[in-house]
A and B are shown apart, each in its own frame.
Chain A
Amino acid sequence: MDFDISRIITLSLFAATLRMTTPILFATLGGIFSSHTGIFHVGLEGLLDIAAFFAVVGSVKTGSPWGGLLYAIVACLVASLVFAFVHLELKANEIIVGLALNIFAGGLTNFLLVAMLDSTGFYQSPLIKGFSQVDVPVLKDIPVMNELLSGHFPLVYFSFLFVLIVYILLYRTPFGFHLRAVGEKTAAAEAVGINPKKIRYIGLMICGTLCGLGGTFLSLSYLNMFSEGISAGRGWVALAAINFGEMKPLRSLVACLIFGFADALALRLQQFGLPSQVVLMLPYASTLIVLIASAISREAKKNAAAKQTKIGGAAEAGA
């Protein structure tokens, strides 16, 4: 086993990073919307599962990956509507509903796999029409850029574009302002005439749509197949990214890129003969490390701020 670092860290590794980031990024952006309305959405994982499954069904039924995407988004919207109804109207605890959604999504896709596609565990067929890679006009002629940025699947470009859209929506539009107001001070938002329930419904629906995109990418790009537990914890990794990014899209993107890199590196190292069981721990371990690091830095900042006010207060008392 020759361990040449230049053979591991290559341009194609960074290109793989971008595509491994995509599903996490979609789920993260979705989660940012629900988090901003004050709902800690544990069900992202389940939504990705549901989307990945219905994308395959839609692709087979319509013969086009875009049809698959449509199916996935509709399925996620329905699931999100149920989530929203149970949490907002029937006042059930959001975490418990989210957990139930995850477990139910796993079981439901399993059941429908048998009932609709007549297979157990996974489904792979030439009938599944996946997306095809797109070459970006100008970039594809620039040496390094073509390998890194060109020839990705359309949803990869969408996901990074959505970071910008989400940023603008959250921080540059009245809707974004209302959304953040509901999450930060519900009573105050209500007092100025914002309907928190309506905003939360919208937030959850946007979250569902974005998870629909993320789940579709999982099953209709590269490997055109659905397998049990296809989301492999990415919904939870997204929650870690939101935690790291403190609900800000650009900061969360940084975390997503770290996790995407860990995913890509794990895939790459497997080809070098390392035991897959150990290498596959990498994305999960990196998630843990990022979570802890961001928590420590947050605590340190808080302590520093507390010290500052203490000193300030003491100086004032002295004067």
Chain B
Amino acid sequence: MKNIVMKTPFKQRLKMILAETVTQIANYAIILILSLLVGAMVIYLTGKDPIAAYQALWKGAFGNWYKVTDTLDRSTVLIFSGLAAAIAFRTSIFNLGLEGQLYIGAFAAALVGFTVKGLPTGLHVPLCLLAGALAGGIWSLPPIIFKLKWKVPVMVPTLMLNYIGILFTSYLIAFPFKDPTAPMAGSPVLEATARLPKLLRGHTLNIGFPLALAAVFLVYWFMFRTKLGYELRLVGYNPSFAASTGLPVKRSSFLAMMISGMLVGLGGSIVIMGFFGRFMGGFSVGYGWDGMMISLLAQNHPLGVLPASLFYAALANGALTMQSTTGVPQTVVVMVKGTIMFFVTVQIFSSAIRRRFQKWTSTSAE
């Protein structure tokens, strides 16, 4: 493989990279415009003004400095769950249990947050995050063990553990760890030392966001710059080929699943420690599921997860403002997201654009 790349003339390689970059940018631009048009059509059909609605949406997401940091804060958990999905999907493991792993991780972090007392923030916060990551990781393991031991397909068990995990945490806050003073079903309030330090006074944005950025680059480095990550990608690309060439398929699957669970557990912990301050029943509005969509939108690439998460966060925050100021139901963005997903999965634009470039990249001499 490497040889072939080396033999291609430099100029042609440059052309190929350029063509692919333009293809991807054009592809996403077309998809974005089309899906916004579909959204506009739906808004129009509900009898509202699409332009005013989109203006409100933009204002809600990026209207002022507070909105911008709010959107960044909202994107934090999405980045983590997007990365979790990306690493699992890249290894061809359909971990549909992100939502459950998120809840279990978040609860573990909260548990350490409200039971352990007297630690300085510098110790308490890392301890909570560690607990959240470990719990998320452990909760993700049974399905992969079932798969490796008895060949049970991963999808259904991960999904069942979603329900079981969410019910389990709601049991915990309804009985053993019930806080009667909580406005809704919730755990006791976290110690102040377990709260994530804010980045700016008066903003919701906390150190969770830079942690998420670090996670993006760490996962990228792991997947594309280490031997283990290379094995993961090979296993994902073709499991039977990887097995016949002697790659440790089992180890790779196990590792990918565990890292996936840990990442999303970390994301859940950050929402609790940064935003809510206590574990709340039903706190996740489908962050785990959004993570899967984000990963697919990013073509399961860790670096692509970042812009995709920001986009999702902007849509979510913008939709709230859109609903309150123009009366357009925030669920309209579902239509936008659905259209995007449709065109991302079918890949018709990128292949059409690529075909246009084919002649240009294949002529190397001129």
Contact = CB atoms under 8 A, between A and B. Distances in A.
Nearest to A99: B292
B159 A233 contact: yes
Given A103-B293, A108-B338, A291-B152, 12 more contacts: A100-B296, A100-B338, A107-B338, A115-B46, A233-B159, A243-B153, A278-B167, A278-B171, A281-B163, A284-B163, A284-B167, A295-B152
Contacts of A137: none
19 contacts: A42-B155, A86-B342, A90-B348, A96-B345, A100-B296, A103-B341, A104-B334, A104-B341, A108-B334, A110-B334, A111-B332, A115-B329, A275-B175, A281-B167, A284-B164, A285-B160, A287-B160, A296-B150, A298-B151
B345 A97 contact: yes
B331 A107 contact: yes
Contacts of B94: 95, 99
Contacts of A298: 151
Given A96-B345, A295-B152, A296-B150, A111 B167 contact: no
B174 interface: yes
Q: Which 5 A-B pairs have the closest CB atoms?
A: A107-B334, A277-B171, A111-B331, A295-B150, A114-B329
Given A92-B347, A233-B160, A111 B170 contact: no
A277 B286 CA distance: 19
A226 to B, nearest CB: 15
Interface string A22-33: 000000000000
A134 interface: no
Q: Is the interface of B mostly helix, strand, loop or mixed?
A: helix
A93 interface: yes
Contacts of A99: 94, 96, 292
Interface residues of B, number: 40
B237 interface: no
Contact of A104 (B96, B329, B338): B338
Interface in A86-140: 86, 90, 92-93, 95-97, 99-100, 103-104, 106-108, 110-111, 114-115
A239 B156 contact: yes
A176 to B, nearest CB: 25
Interface in A233-250: 233, 236, 239-240, 243
A285 B163 CA distance: 9
Contacts of A103: 289, 292-293, 341
Nearest to A286: B160
Contacts of B163: 232-233, 280-281, 284
Contacts of B151: 295, 298-299
Contact of A281 (B96, B164, B334): B164
Contacts of B342: 86, 100
Interface string B329-343: 101101101100110
Contacts of B341: 100, 103-104
